[in-house]
């Protein structure tokens, strides 16, 4: 049985004082939630602060990016070792904004995943299609390519797949539950080809404008195991409602 996995991606938001305010309020709001894995990904500057505040709570810490070398002359980059030293359990890799604005290729993403797993850092691996690709009927082609290239020669352990339809990120548009389930089911079918029965243990989460208003219907889908939440994770009350999604009968 896969545990629900809900992660907050704050992107380039929140100062250290704002991080303290959010985390202190959020901890109290979810202190009795024991059946869901909860992860918060603040900006690099707030990692150590958040790590100290969530210690002992069961909430996990993630970074929003990582470099694929452990040390060296790479100005401005952060290694997996540094993230572990800051208290991180996970790192987000392959987010569409990294692909779009910073030119990250499948090859670079694969190197980042390998470096993170080599250092026992969990990975939230993002994949997804653009609106143009969806309208051209290429959704499955894109997902297949990103899965196979991103996970090339990777042992599937402590990796969460985040399906993020690019056309739904930060736009207020959301894939319907039917669209989300279709994509998630396809992703699981590809993972089954690569990893056999182990694919049934892999969490696949939805990452396209998940909100308090749509989380229940998304989580009712059999292959949707959680959410990677952007804008709705910036306020404790809205993220708490997402973490406290209402389970459908039989899931």
* Residues tagged active-site: 95, 164
Question: Do residues 29 and 250 touch, judged by C-beta distance below 8 A?
Answer: no
Tokens read off for 159: 């990796």
Cβ-Cβ contacts under 8 Å for 1 (sequence gap 6 or more): none
Tokens read off for 30: 């979810």
Question: Do residues 161 and 195 touch, judged by C-beta distance below 8 A?
Answer: no
Intra-chain end-to-end CA distance of the chain, in Å: 10
SS3 of residue 224 by DSSP: coil
How many C-beta atoms lie closer than 10 Å to residue 188's C-beta?
17
Torsion, Cα of 101, 84, 229, 92 (10° steps): 40
Length of the chain in terms of residues written: 251
């Amino acid at each position: 049985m896969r545990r629900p996995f809900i992660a907050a991606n704050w992107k380039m938001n929140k100062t250290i004082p704002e991080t303290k305010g959010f985390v202190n309020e959020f901890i109290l709001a979810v202190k009795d939630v024991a059946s869901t894995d909860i992860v918060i990904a603040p900006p690099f500057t707030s990692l150590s602060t958040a790590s100290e505040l969530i210690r002992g709570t069961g909430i996990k810490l993630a970074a929003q990016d990582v470099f694929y070398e452990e040390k060296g002359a790479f100005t401005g980059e952060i290694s997996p070792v540094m993230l572990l030293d800051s208290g991180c359990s996970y790192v987000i890799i392959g987010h569409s904004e990294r692909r779009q604005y910073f030119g990250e290729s499948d090859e670079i993403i694969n190197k980042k995943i390998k470096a993170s797993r080599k250092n026992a850092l969990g990975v939230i691996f993002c994949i997804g299609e653009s609106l143009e690709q969806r309208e051209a009927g290429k959704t499955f082609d894109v997902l297949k390519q990103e899965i196979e290239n991103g996970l090339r020669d990777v042992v599937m352990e402590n990796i969460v797949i985040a399906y993020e339809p690019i056309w739904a990120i930060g736009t207020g548009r959301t894939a319907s539950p039917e669209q989300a389930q279709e994509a998630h089911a396809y992703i699981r079918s590809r993972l089954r080809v690569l990893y056999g029965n182990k694919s049934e243990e892999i969490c696949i989460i939805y990452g396209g404008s998940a909100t308090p208003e749509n989380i229940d219907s998304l989580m009712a889908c059999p292959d949707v195991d959680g959410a990677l939440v952007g804008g709705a994770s910036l306020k404790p009350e809205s993220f708490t409602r997402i973490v406290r999604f209402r389970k459908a009968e039989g899931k």
